[in-house]
């Protein structure tokens, strides 16, 4: 039975939702999967795991600093195992920015990190204005207005293609 670590960084909880779905998919394939927050457990020992998946959300155009630090500290171990990385961002709701090779934030991550994951994915995120603090809500509404996205402050829109998440989970199982 393969042991798979899913380490994540989430701003508002949607990346965690995706990780939990990946965990379900992996367990259905008769593997073990543990989901861990990089923010809560930055020193987790990844050595005992057979495969490692890292997922990270974008806020204001950036992955959080602790994601880069986690990768930097664990790069040699990551490189020695089957591994994967996925980014969650609302810009991926646009078809022309929904693939690893076309998503600007995933491309930026790969340029800023010396780690080159063996499998990549990008998932469109979720807009949930009621969840955001006042200034975040205003900033995200401005960004959505500029990019022709939803701006109604009562909006909740999940742009995630859950079939794509399932396919990525199967890819992880078969690495």
**Which domains does the chain carry?**
3-125+160-174 (3.40.50.360), 128-159 (no CATH)
Element at 166 (helix H, strand E): helix 162-174
Per-residue burial over 88-108, b if 16 or more Cβ lie within 10 Å, else e, is bbbbbbeeebbebeebebbee
> Could you read off the pLDDT tens digit of each residue along the chain, which spans 175 residues?
899 999 999 988 999 999 999 999 999 999 999 999 999 998 999 999 999 999 999 988 889 999 999 999 999 999 999 999 999 998 999 999 999 999 999 999 999 999 999 999 999 999 998 888 898 888 888 887 988 888 898 989 999 999 999 999 999 999 9
- Give the integer Cα–Cα distance in Å for 87 and 54: 9
Please give the C-alpha separations between residue 12 and each of 1, 58, 123, 155, in angstroms, as whole numbers: 32, 10, 15, 15
User: Does the CA dihedral 37-8-72-5 come out positive or negative?
Assistant: positive
As beta bridge partners, residue 7 has 36, 54
In this prediction, residue 149 carries a pLDDT of: 84
The candidate with the shortest Cα–Cα distance to 32, out of 8, 5, 52, 3, is: 3
Collapsing DSSP to helix, strand or coil, 15 comes out as helix
32, 80, 9, 159 alpha-carbon torsion, rounded to 10°: -80
Element at 121 (helix H, strand E): strand 119-124
- Give the integer Cα–Cα distance in Å for 59 and 126: 12
């Amino acid at each position: 039975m393969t042991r798979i670590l899913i380490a994540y960084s989430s701003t508002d909880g949607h990346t965690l939702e995706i990780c939990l779905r990946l965990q379900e998919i992996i367990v259905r394939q008769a593997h073990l999967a543990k989901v861990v927050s990089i923010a809560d457990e930055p020193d987790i020992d990844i050595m005992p795991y057979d495969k490692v998946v890292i997922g990270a959300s974008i806020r204001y155009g950036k992955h959080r600093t602790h994601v880069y630090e986690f990768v930097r500290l664990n790069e040699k171990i990551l490189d020695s195992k089957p591994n994967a990385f996925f980014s969650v961002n609302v810009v991926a709701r646009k078809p022309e920015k929904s693939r690893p090779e076309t998503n600007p934030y995933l491309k930026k991550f790969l340029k800023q990190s010396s780690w080159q994951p063996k499998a990549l994915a990008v998932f469109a995120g979720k807009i949930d204005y009621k969840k955001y603090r006042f200034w975040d809500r205003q900033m995200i509404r401005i960004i959505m207005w500029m990019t022709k996205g939803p701006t109604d402050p009562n909006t909740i829109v999940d742009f995630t293609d859950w079939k794509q998440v399932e396919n990525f989970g199967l890819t992880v199982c078969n690495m």
